[in-house]
Chain A
Amino acid sequence: MGAEKQTNSTDERAQNIEATRQLLGGYKREKANLIPVLQKVQGKLGYLPREAMMEIAGYFDIAPIDVYGVVTFYNQFRLNPPGKHSVRVCLGTACHMKGGYITLDAWKRRLKIDARQTTPDREFDLDTVACVGCCAMAPVTVVDNKPEGKVEPTRVDGILLGLGYDHITKDQEKVDESK
């Protein structure tokens, strides 16, 4: 994941630390609470910034590397900020057979980013998911936590249009080319 290193401003850092502290308050200082805490913090901040992980390590009195180890072990946790819209392409068996990888290619092409990246304007982030369990609707893409069934390359454009991003779909490219 060769995402560029993003450093937060001092203000942002202070806010993240404050938010993390507030969430930590309700938890016992037992390591069994580490994963629920990380989930909670990510739920609030959208990702796990360095300062939040440091804060959590301090709270549980464990080495920061142990927090980092757990965060990077699980697919759910992310280290970079999410986009305004999240796009998760299902790559389960059924979706794969019905062309999920082709759909993923289509998303990459339109958003001009790779999986596990966020667009530079932070409008979209693209990720894959192992299986969301609606194999009957394959290929599935989860857009803003709503599973969309039968998403083939043409529907990628349709979804982008529906979200009001017509400027990145094919038609616009055509207009740009003709200029």
Chain B
Amino acid sequence: MTKANSGPGVRTAFNKLKERAEAHERELKQNRSLILVGAATCGRAAGALDVVEAFREEIRKRDLDCPVIEVGCMGHCYAEPIVIISKPGNPPIAYGHVNPVIAERLINEYIMGDNPCPEFVLAALEPSDILPSFQDFPRAAYEKKIILKNCGRIDPTNIDEYIVVGGYSALARSLEKSPQEIIDEIRAAGLRGRGGAGYPTGQKWQTCRDAEGTPKYIICNADEGDPGAFVDRAILESDPHSVIEGMIIGGYAVGASHGYIYVRAEYPLAVKRLQTALEQAKELKLTGKNIFGGEFSFDIEVFQGSGAFVCGEETALIASLEGEAGMPTPRPPYPAARGLFDKPTVVNNVKTLAYVRHIINNGAEWFRETGTKESPGTAVFSLAGKIVNTGMVEVPMGTSLRNIIFDAGSGIPGGKRFKAVQIGGPSGGCLPEAALDTGVDFDSLQSAGAIMGSGGMVVCDEDDCMVEMARYFLEFTQRESCGKCTFCRLGTKQMLEILTEFTFGQGKLKDLETLETLAQQVKAGSLCSLGRTAPNPILTTLRYFRDEYIEHITMGRCPALMCMHLIAYYILPDKCERSCDACVGSCTVEAISPNKKRIKVIDQEKCVKCGTCLAACPPQYNAIVKLSPPSEVPEQNVKIKNQISKTKK
């Protein structure tokens, strides 16, 4: 199997496949209106399935010929549920925040009439005279979609749609080449692993190809455990075949016969989409024995993780696949030399594999045109937290954080001030405003103290406390530490205790030094990147936001008014409107009642600090404020002190 795998046969087989898919698609789409509903997990959380049902019901009632298709995520999660309607003669139009009522109107007025209902339009997908298009959005100037291109545009449960937009052509092309040629191409492209570490993919493949031992394995790491990152999920739910195709090509290149996709159990829809996609691929003989009638055979199986963050680490993932508790083992030997069942194994991230087909189709040169010299290609980030356009964005490597957050993401909502951006989840760091002009690529983020990680970007505004943020991540890593290395097991616990004390307004300044020392020791004394990167959130917040720590310790005050034990809600008597009872009704624990003058007063002892009253107080009164430290509350000092000592245990 050194040279090509019976060339002409592959081509004919692929052409046949493509013709068949195109015929199916023509039949489906000819002269018909099509309704695409974004029904990935993010869309579903916003009620997409009700919208699908509403469309189908209306269509049934009126006996229309108009398919409703559940697609994946376009990346504009802030506007979910999103619906795209393509009507012959018009550009496809995307609608945002659709609900069943709007669905009914769209059927009545656009599908049956010719009013595109501009009031609900998000944007047209192609430039046109009548409506603004996505190309007019400020983010369009920075975005360059490679692996997200098909997400939300094609039906993830229909392999034909994938084939029509060019799917599996890279596989056909690859099988006409020798495995070494493919590895050379990936190496020349400089593709780096998108799982976080940025190891050159071509190099990894070469090591595995050269390693002795059969069978070889390729594993797709879809154990996207970083809270705040959801790109892998979106790709698997929206365009699963792109990952499968990358895997088959990878399998051919390294000489593997079997592949596993290791998906988090928390992603049930991604698992379902993958299983459907794999069945279809198998049916069309794109996996299994003698792919395209050639000599290469390759199987793929989905393996569901069971909820352990550490399994995102490749050696722990392999242990988990072998039926063990997911504990990492020392490297070397690297899995590429000795991995699953002690055989050479490549472990690649979802996004890495999704790039493969584009590189094979367009060439290494094309890939290198985007991004920076050391980090070619694009970076995909999920934007979450205090940002207007939550969702996903794909930009060339090297784009500055400022462009991503303020241009692609449209900045901070509610006129609040930007404070920090957290990149890379629990292993990453919080970068302040001064670092906003950093271009995002593997190396520059690392030197700023964060990491690329799996692409989670969580934006914090002035209301977010950096001490609490560090505590939150430590709580996470401490809980998820597998317990193998002493420093990771006990060190993280110790650090968590110190940070928790800070958020209670306790602790001493000396603790800051202890924290720093411990952080260095945990970094040095841990085997895998969970422990080695766990102190990052602490180190970066200490580096950039030390003042905030000091304020917590010395004044018992949380400047961001976030730490629950350091704040109190208070109703300003001169602002409270006597005739209004909004806060009283909203309080979840009956802690607010009017006094004799009908001014509302919070019973601090009952208050659970959920903030519901603050949201309920009408903006024209704006009478409720948060105070820190809680002793700032005028009349009830004594009671509050009691409460604090109670909660502290």
Contact = CB atoms under 8 A, between A and B. Distances in A.
Contacts of B322: 31-32
Given A131-B226, A131-B227, A153-B612, A145 B588 contact: no
A92 B385 CA distance: 10
B323 A32 contact: yes
A85 interface: no
Interface stretch (B23-31, B198-206, B249-257, B301-309): B301-309
A155 to B, nearest CB: 10
A170 B42 contact: no
B625 interface: no
A32 B321 contact: yes
A30 B323 CA distance: 9
A158 to B, nearest CB: 12
Interface in A119-159: 129-138, 140, 145-149, 152-154, 156-157
Given A36-B304, A93-B456, A105 B610 contact: yes
Contacts of B224: 133
A8 interface: no
Contacts of B499: none
Interface in B469-486: 469, 472-473, 476, 480, 482
Interface stretch (B113-121, B261-269, B628-636): B261-269
A97 B386 contact: yes
Contact of B384 (A39, A70, A93, A153): A93
B588 A133 contact: no
B593 to A, nearest CB: 12
Interface in B443-477: 456, 458, 460, 464, 469, 472-473, 476
A93 B472 contact: yes
A170 B590 contact: yes
Contacts of A97: 385-386, 458, 460, 464, 469
A135 B611 CA distance: 20
Contacts of B460: 97
B384 A94 contact: yes
Contacts of B304: 35-36, 39
A92 B233 CA distance: 15
A148 B464 CA distance: 24
B41 A134 contact: yes
B390 A136 contact: yes
Interface string B393-414: 0000000000000000000000
Contacts of A93: 227-228, 384-385, 422, 425, 456, 458, 472-473
A106 interface: yes
A36 B306 CA distance: 9
Interface string B355-396: 000000000000000000000000000111110001100000
A25 to B, nearest CB: 18
Most chain B beta carbons < 10 A, residue from A30, A34, A73, A99: A73
B45 A154 contact: no
20 contacts: A33-B323, A34-B323, A73-B308, A74-B305, A75-B308, A76-B306, A91-B227, A93-B425, A93-B472, A96-B227, A130-B480, A133-B41, A133-B233, A134-B41, A145-B268, A147-B41, A152-B610, A152-B612, A154-B612, A170-B588
B314 to A, nearest CB: 17
A69 interface: yes
Given A94-B458, A95-B227, 4 more contacts: A76-B305, A94-B384, A131-B226, A131-B228
Contact of A134 (B77, B425, B456, B586): B77
How many B residues are at the interface, by size bracket?
35 or more
A173 B108 CA distance: 45
Interface of A: 30-36, 38-39, 69-70, 73-77, 91-99, 102, 105-106, 109, 129-138, 140, 145-149, 152-154, 156-157, 170, 173-174
Contact of A137 (B45, B226, B309): B45
Interface string B558-593: 000000000000000000000000000010111000
Contacts of B173: none
Nearest to B49: A146
A99 B615 CA distance: 13
Contacts of A94: 227-228, 384-385, 390, 458
Nearest to B270: A133
A137 B46 contact: yes
B422 A174 contact: no
Contact of A173 (B265, B267, B303, B590): B590
B324 interface: yes
B608 A147 contact: no
A99 B307 contact: no
Interface in B211-269: 224-230, 233-234, 265-268
Contact of A31 (B323, B385, B391, B473): B323
Contact of B228 (A31, A69, A135, A149): A135
B45 A135 contact: no
Nearest to A131: B227
Contacts of A74: 305-308, 325-326
A132 B458 contact: no
B388 to A, nearest CB: 11
Interface in B289-322: 303-309, 320-322
